[in-house]
Every structure is written in C-alpha cells, then in structure tokens.
A and B are shown apart, each in its own frame.
Chain A
Amino acid sequence: MINLEPVTRPDAPLARRNPVAKLAAALLCSVILIATLDPVAPAIAIAFELALLPLFGVRLRVLARRAMPLLVSAVGILVTLVLFAAERSGRTLIEAGPILITSGVLITALGLVLRMFAVALPGVTVVATTDPTDLADALVQNAKLPARFAYGALAAFRLVPLLAQEWQMISMARRARGVDAGRNPLARLRLFGSTAFTLLVGAIRRGTRLAVAMDARGFDATTPRSMARRQHFGRADGLLIAGAAVLAGAALAVSVAVGAFRPLIG
C-alpha cells in the first residue's frame, strides 16, 4: 500500500512551513550536494539534516521505516562497490583470497552511499511531513502550477491503493477461469503481462470516469478557480529555503577547505 499521509507531528515548527518552501529547500539541498563525489560534504549535510529532524516533528523510528528501501539498497551498493570496483587505489586494508579491499575503494563507496542519503533524506522528510492536499494547494497557489494538473494528480493518487486490491482480485479471477502458470517461467511471464494489461484497462476506465465526474462538477470551467483553503508563503518560508542553501553550501565549503572536494563534472 502506498501511504502518503503525514505520520509525524504536524504542528512542529518546520513541518508547518509552506509545502512549496519545503519542496524547494529539499531540491536545493539535493542539487548542491550532487555536485561533489567526496564523502565529507554529504556526511556534514547528513549531520545537519538529522539535527533538524526534531524541528520537522519527525521521529527517527518512523523515518527509518520510511527509508528502509533506501537503507537496504545502500548496503547493497556498499558491498558491490567494495568487492567489485575496477580501480583499487590506496592502501590495502583486507586481502583474503579473491577479496581485496583498499582504502581508495572504501572512500569512493562510502562517498556514494553517503551522497545517496544526503540527497534523499530531505525529500523523504518533506513527503513524511506534508499532507498531499496541502501540497497540491500550495503548488497551485504559490508555485502557480495549473490546477488541472495538481488536483488531477491528487485525485488520481486516491485511486492508487485500489490497484493492489485489484491486482489480487484479477489474479484470483484468472485462476477461476482455469488460467495459471504452474512452474513454467514463460507462462508465468505471459500471465503477469495479461494480468497487468487487465489492471491497466480497469485503471484507465476508472480514471476516465473520475475525469468526467470532476468535469461534471465544473473542473473544466473557464472561470478562474477560487481557493477554499489558503496556503501562505511568508518570510519564514523564504528563510527555510535560504537556510537550506546556506547549510548545503557550508557542507560543500568544508569539503573544499579540507581538500576532499571532488567535483562531479571536470
């Protein structure tokens, strides 16, 4: 199940900030940190990010659960890089049979994994602390995105959890028709394809019905839309974005100062 509801304290000082401001701050952080390949800048950024989490009302345990796929893939990347990297520079740390781990390999791998976390953590935090409706409202009101896009996507997301139930139902219905794959991998692939196709057909029909129902309530009207819920973009929201830029910039500056900086390009 996809769950986009906020699971944190919504009244925390930074969680209350405008969703567009939070999104912009996260994007800014990510873009700045992507610029370097060294482990120092992302390590500092992660330290900043973790320190700021309480201000977003995020409990670490909740975050760890959200970020579980990220943690698992991080371990995978680390192991793969350490074992199979082509360039084995630096001091030899461990040598056991075919396994050769050097300091250069370890630093590169660590840099990549830390970078992944430093870039992803702000995004995960924003998703965890933002109500989807508020985000759509703010995108329309503050980022001037078309309402048709923002609310259309919001309404479509409501139907996503249905897809999982639908998949199970279609699979059982196939079995009830005498269609199963048994142990044949090719038949299994074909069955997967045809189930996915049925799911897609159903999803498109539902989406079309939803679109017609929305238009019947004037969504396609040419008169300017009014807003029942206001999203304010105040000074604090601007400061959040500026703060994110300053922190990410500081992390980068430290990395340059200690000579660890390795630019992505050049």
Chain B
Amino acid sequence: MSAVRLRGFGWRHAGRKRWAVRGLDLRIEHGERVLLLGASGAGKSTLLAALAGLLPEDSGEQEGTVEVDGRDPRAAREEVGLLFQDPETQLVMARCGDDVAFGPENRGLPAGQIWPRVDEALRRVGFRYGRDRSTAALSGGEQQRLALAGVLALRPSLLLLDEPTANLDPAGAALIRDAVAAALDADTSLLLVEHRLAEALPLVDRVVVLAPGGGVHADGTPQAVFAAHGEALAAEGVWVPGHPTPLRRAATAPGTELLAADELALPPRLARVSLTVRAGEALAVHGPNGAGKSTLALLLGGLLAPAAGRVTATAELAGGDARTPPHRWRAPALVGRIGSVFQDPEHQFVTTTVAEELALGPRRTGRTEAQVRATVDALLDRLRLTALAAANPYTLSGGEARRLSVATALATAPRLLVCDEPTFGQDRRTWRELVELFAELRDNGHGLVTVTHDREFIAALADRQVRLEHPRRVS
C-alpha cells in the first residue's frame, strides 16, 4: 500500500540558484498509474529522486513536504523502486540472476527466499534467458528488462520509471513497454516519465503535467488532459497523439553527386554496401540494431578507414583532394567538407563554453576573427542557444546538447552533413526544429545522410532510403 502526498513541495540542489521543482501539490492514490509530463527542466527527474528517497538532506534545500505512505521517502525506501534511462549504468553483476538478487541481498532477505524471488521477477518481465546468462551478452532492451526485474524483485508498491525507453531502439522500447504492462498489478502504483506518449498511454490512467515555473499545469484522465491542453503540450514539446508533424520533402530533383561508397565493408560490424550521396537530397539509412548503421556513418564521415571497398569524394565536394579518400584528409580540411553529428553529443564537446564550441571549427579552418564571430552569433540565434553562450556544454539538457552538436557541425559550412540518430530521445519541439533545419540545408544544396531508427523522421524528411541488413544475415 503506498500513496504519495506532496504539499507545496520544492527542492533546490545545493549550489544552484534555480529551484529544480517548486510549489508542487499532488496526491497519488494507491494503485494509480500516472504519466508525468512537463517540458525539460520542469523537475520531473528531481521529483522521482525525491520520491525514491535519493535526495540526502544535506544535498539541497527543501520546501514543503513529501510523503510516501505517510513517511519521509528516505525512511520508506523499501516501498519504492526506481528504473533509470540507461541500462548500462544500472546493472551491477556479471550474471543476470546475480544482478536481480543484488537488491534482495541489500535488503537482507534470507538467502532461501532470494532465488525464488529472482525467478519470479524474471518471469514477470518475460525475461527469455537463464540466471547464468552474462549481462554483457544482452541487447540494450534486454538489459533494461533485466534492470526492471532487479527493481521488481524488491516488490515495491510504488514503481517509478524515468524515461525507461529513451536509450532504446523501437524494438527494445517495445520489450520494456510489454514488460511493464505484464509486471503491473493492482498492488503497484506507477509514476512514469516519458516523452513518447504512444509508448506510455496504454500503461496509465492519469496524466499529470508539471508547469515549467513550478506547480501542476494539468491533471486528469489522458482524454481530458489532451482535449484541454493537447495543442499547448504539443507546442511545448510533448509527443501528443493526433498532432502530426509537417512533411518536408525536397521540392526539386537532387543535384550533383558528392560522395560515393563502393562495396564498402568493415567486418564484422558492416557488410558490403554501395550508395551515392547527392547535393540537395536527404538520404536516410535505416535497419535493425547491429546492422552497422553507426559504422557506415563514421566511414562516410571520413572518420574511420574501411577494411574493403572505398569512399570517394567528387571534385564538387573536395576539389583537388578528391583523389584521396576522406579518411586520409587532415581534420581541418575534413570539417570544411563533411560535418559529422554523433549519437552522443557529449563525445564531441572540446571546449568549456557553448560559444567557444561553435568558434572552434571556423578557427581551425582559418577564418578571420570577424567571420568567426558572425558565424557563432548566427548559429546561436538560429538554434536558440544565445542565452546559453557562456554555459559549459556539459551542463546542457539533452535537447540543448543536441542542438549545439548540430550547430558545431554546421559552423564550418560543410557541403555534406552525416548524422547518427540526431532525433534520438528528443522532445517534439527540438525534433521539429531539427527537421526544419535539415530541410533548409537540403533545399540550399547541401547533401544530408542520416542513419536513424526514427520512422517519423524518415517520413517527414527523407527523399531516399537505404536499408542495411545485419552482417550475419548478409553473409
């Protein structure tokens, strides 16, 4: 039995000026299944951490009260289970069964009761492998399923899920959705944070929207909330069903060829593939996990040497350098021609401020200081980053970091842009901005290659598609 009571709750992390969450009044009754929405920065993750008792008293300043079952959450830890985004940093042990047993061990459950509990938790999430399976041998979706089993083995009466599918491909996300649906019973309350409503709505009976300034913006059944606030929520970035995104296909035929991949391969990561990339065309590469999509992006971006076949740039893209393959170009020459956007934006950050980050590429390619400043200002403005110019890139939210990583690739005005899952885990607002930006680039004669799982993105933007198959299946 667990009910949640928040009265005027607020939390400010030590050393921060801004309150992460403030003025929150909320009751969640026993057995309710609640979807928690709100723009990024509205304090959803802080609220979950507070409910899980993971905010030590000395780590910040609290206002109002928060109670789980009439107790301080720090004293009601055994009632609450919390599943995070990233499966990689949730698994503790080398073997699956041991990992699920980790929680019950911590709670001091007698050894005789642990293994039956482990088996029950694995069954509840529909885990397909035995206890002795190595955790490293699982796919991302299976790892997250295992992490859920680890949480359920503690039999929490309040289950908190913090964007549990954000780091997973569609197949992995479906695994988790099914596992949560199967694991929920009448004794478990659920509080779920998720951008992708299509994934979340089958699991919940109530929606709570946090207001960016603090407090609750909307609260009720999904139908009632979306009927009254659907338009506004979609504009704020929530993926509300029934609000389609505009299509941005090319109006004109593609231009000249920029880059060609000829029988390109890098076993065991990528099987043979040939394709051409043209100016004024958005090419989408899709396919199952493990098909080598990211590897192909690195090869086309001139960042990785192929084991077989070759990547050839045309004179249109590389001028006199067209005879050498892109992976042999010096880095400053490369970024003037091909821009790469990585799946994890943080991999690409090199400097200590957002503005410096944008200035780096133009400086390396020998622009004058005045040109650099003009480029930086234009990009800050275009990607809504002006207010963050002096911020450290590592402190940005997911959407801000993504916008910055795309902006850094554009700063050197490359003719070709290669992006790896640029829309991954993005809210609807950032998503639309990215589609609009890519469409503009394409319409201005740039070539665009995107490797992605995102079907909506492909539908909205792609002029041509290439499907990769798993290397094992090809050979």
A residues with a Cβ closer than 8 A to B are 5, 131-133, 151, 154-155, 158-159, 161-162, 169-170, 172-180, 182, 194, 198, 201-202, 206, 209-210, 212-219, 221, 223-230
In the complex, the answer to whether A223 meets B303 with C-beta atoms within 8 Å is no
- Among candidates A154, A178, A219, residue contacting B106 with C-beta atoms closer than 8 Å: A219
Q: Given A158-B136, A178-B364, A217-B151, does the pair A227, B105 have CB atoms closer than 8 Å?
A: yes
Distance in angstroms between the alpha carbons of A230 and B90 in the assembled complex: 24
User: Is B115 an interface residue, CB under 8 A from the partner?
Assistant: yes
In the complex, the answer to whether A158 meets B107 with C-beta atoms within 8 Å is no
Closest-CB distance, B285 to chain A (whole angstroms):
17
- Chain A residues lying within 8 Å of B335, measured Cβ to Cβ, are 176-178
In the complex, the answer to whether B89 meets A226 with C-beta atoms within 8 Å is no
B residues with a Cβ closer than 8 A to A are 52, 54, 77-78, 81-82, 84, 86, 88-95, 98, 101-111, 114-115, 118, 135-136, 147, 150-151, 154, 298, 301, 303-304, 330-332, 334-335, 339-340, 342, 344, 346-350, 360-361, 364-365, 394, 408-409, 412
In the complex, the answer to whether A213 meets B90 with C-beta atoms within 8 Å is yes
In the complex, the answer to whether B110 meets A176 with C-beta atoms within 8 Å is no
- Chain B residues lying within 8 Å of A151, measured Cβ to Cβ, are 92, 102
In the complex, the answer to whether A213 meets B84 with C-beta atoms within 8 Å is yes
Closest-CB distance, A213 to chain B (whole angstroms):
4
In the complex, the answer to whether B334 meets A178 with C-beta atoms within 8 Å is yes
- Chain A residues lying within 8 Å of B82, measured Cβ to Cβ, are 216
- Chain B residues lying within 8 Å of A133, measured Cβ to Cβ, are 93-95, 98
Distance in angstroms between the alpha carbons of A209 and B301 in the assembled complex: 31
In the complex, the answer to whether A175 meets B334 with C-beta atoms within 8 Å is yes
Q: Given A216-B82, A217-B150, does the pair A176, B111 have CB atoms closer than 8 Å?
A: no
- Chain A residues lying within 8 Å of B303, measured Cβ to Cβ, are 172, 175-176
In the complex, the answer to whether B91 meets A158 with C-beta atoms within 8 Å is yes
- Chain B residues lying within 8 Å of A225, measured Cβ to Cβ, are 105-106, 108
- Among candidates B109, B111, B348, residue contacting A230 with C-beta atoms closer than 8 Å: B111
In the complex, the answer to whether B52 meets A226 with C-beta atoms within 8 Å is no
- Among candidates A154, A169, A223, residue contacting B342 with C-beta atoms closer than 8 Å: A169
**Closest B residue, CB atoms, query A219:** B106
- Chain A residues lying within 8 Å of B109, measured Cβ to Cβ, are 226
In the complex, the answer to whether B107 meets A218 with C-beta atoms within 8 Å is yes
- Chain B residues lying within 8 Å of A172, measured Cβ to Cβ, are 298, 303-304
- Chain A residues lying within 8 Å of B364, measured Cβ to Cβ, are 177-179
Distance in angstroms between the alpha carbons of A177 and B330 in the assembled complex: 11
In the complex, the answer to whether A223 meets B107 with C-beta atoms within 8 Å is yes
Distance in angstroms between the alpha carbons of A180 and B327 in the assembled complex: 12
**Closest B residue, CB atoms, query A181:** B331
Distance in angstroms between the alpha carbons of A170 and B343 in the assembled complex: 12
List 6 other contacts, CB 8 Å, given A213-B89, A226-B108. Answer: A5-B94, A155-B92, A213-B90, A217-B154, A224-B108, A228-B98
Q: Given A223-B107, A226-B109, does the pair A177, B92 have CB atoms closer than 8 Å?
A: no
A-B contact pairs, 5 of them (CB 8 A): A155-B92, A158-B94, A172-B303, A198-B347, A217-B103
In the complex, the answer to whether A169 meets B88 with C-beta atoms within 8 Å is no
Closest-CB distance, B351 to chain A (whole angstroms):
9
Distance in angstroms between the alpha carbons of A162 and B364 in the assembled complex: 30
Distance in angstroms between the alpha carbons of A213 and B106 in the assembled complex: 13
In the complex, the answer to whether A176 meets B89 with C-beta atoms within 8 Å is no
Distance in angstroms between the alpha carbons of A194 and B151 in the assembled complex: 38
- Among candidates B95, B104, B344, B394, residue contacting A226 with C-beta atoms closer than 8 Å: B104
Distance in angstroms between the alpha carbons of A175 and B110 in the assembled complex: 54
- Chain B residues lying within 8 Å of A213, measured Cβ to Cβ, are 84, 89-90, 92, 147
3 closest Cβ pairs, A-B complex: A218-B106, A180-B331, A178-B335
**Closest B residue, CB atoms, query A162:** B88
**Closest A residue, CB atoms, query B150:** A217
**Closest A residue, CB atoms, query B341:** A176
In the complex, the answer to whether B98 meets A229 with C-beta atoms within 8 Å is yes
- Among candidates A179, A210, A226, A227, residue contacting B90 with C-beta atoms closer than 8 Å: A210
In the complex, the answer to whether B151 meets A176 with C-beta atoms within 8 Å is no
In the complex, the answer to whether A176 meets B348 with C-beta atoms within 8 Å is yes
In the complex, the answer to whether A154 meets B54 with C-beta atoms within 8 Å is no
Distance in angstroms between the alpha carbons of A33 and B250 in the assembled complex: 76
Q: Given A133-B95, A194-B350, A214-B92, does the pair A173, B84 have CB atoms closer than 8 Å?
A: no
Closest-CB distance, A54 to chain B (whole angstroms):
26
In the complex, the answer to whether A173 meets B105 with C-beta atoms within 8 Å is no
- Chain A residues lying within 8 Å of B108, measured Cβ to Cβ, are 221, 223-226
- Chain A residues lying within 8 Å of B348, measured Cβ to Cβ, are 173, 176-177
Distance in angstroms between the alpha carbons of A177 and B345 in the assembled complex: 12
Distance in angstroms between the alpha carbons of A210 and B86 in the assembled complex: 9
B95, B118, B298, B365 interface centre (most CB from chain A within 10 Å): B298
In the complex, the answer to whether B88 meets A206 with C-beta atoms within 8 Å is yes
- Chain A residues lying within 8 Å of B110, measured Cβ to Cβ, are 226
Distance in angstroms between the alpha carbons of A151 and B105 in the assembled complex: 12
- Chain B residues lying within 8 Å of A162, measured Cβ to Cβ, are 88
Closest-CB distance, B411 to chain A (whole angstroms):
9
Distance in angstroms between the alpha carbons of A228 and B409 in the assembled complex: 51
Distance in angstroms between the alpha carbons of A213 and B86 in the assembled complex: 10
Closest-CB distance, B373 to chain A (whole angstroms):
18
**Closest B residue, CB atoms, query A221:** B106
- Chain B residues lying within 8 Å of A169, measured Cβ to Cβ, are 342, 344, 347
- Chain A residues lying within 8 Å of B408, measured Cβ to Cβ, are 177
In the complex, the answer to whether A210 meets B332 with C-beta atoms within 8 Å is no
- Among candidates B78, B136, B147, B360, residue contacting A177 with C-beta atoms closer than 8 Å: B360
**Closest B residue, CB atoms, query A166:** B347
- Among candidates A178, A215, A216, A228, residue contacting B104 with C-beta atoms closer than 8 Å: A228
A175, A194, A201, A215 interface centre (most CB from chain B within 10 Å): A175
Distance in angstroms between the alpha carbons of A202 and B89 in the assembled complex: 12
Distance in angstroms between the alpha carbons of A216 and B53 in the assembled complex: 8
In the complex, the answer to whether A221 meets B111 with C-beta atoms within 8 Å is no
- Chain B residues lying within 8 Å of A173, measured Cβ to Cβ, are 340, 342, 347-348
Closest-CB distance, A26 to chain B (whole angstroms):
22
- Chain B residues lying within 8 Å of A209, measured Cβ to Cβ, are 84, 86, 89
Q: Given A176-B303, A177-B348, A216-B52, does the pair A182, B94 have CB atoms closer than 8 Å?
A: no
Closest-CB distance, B374 to chain A (whole angstroms):
18
- Chain A residues lying within 8 Å of B115, measured Cβ to Cβ, are 228
Closest-CB distance, B68 to chain A (whole angstroms):
14
**Closest B residue, CB atoms, query A230:** B111
- Chain B residues lying within 8 Å of A158, measured Cβ to Cβ, are 91-94, 135-136
In the complex, the answer to whether A178 meets B105 with C-beta atoms within 8 Å is no
- Chain A residues lying within 8 Å of B93, measured Cβ to Cβ, are 133, 154-155, 158
- Chain A residues lying within 8 Å of B150, measured Cβ to Cβ, are 217
Distance in angstroms between the alpha carbons of A215 and B52 in the assembled complex: 10
In the complex, the answer to whether A221 meets B331 with C-beta atoms within 8 Å is no
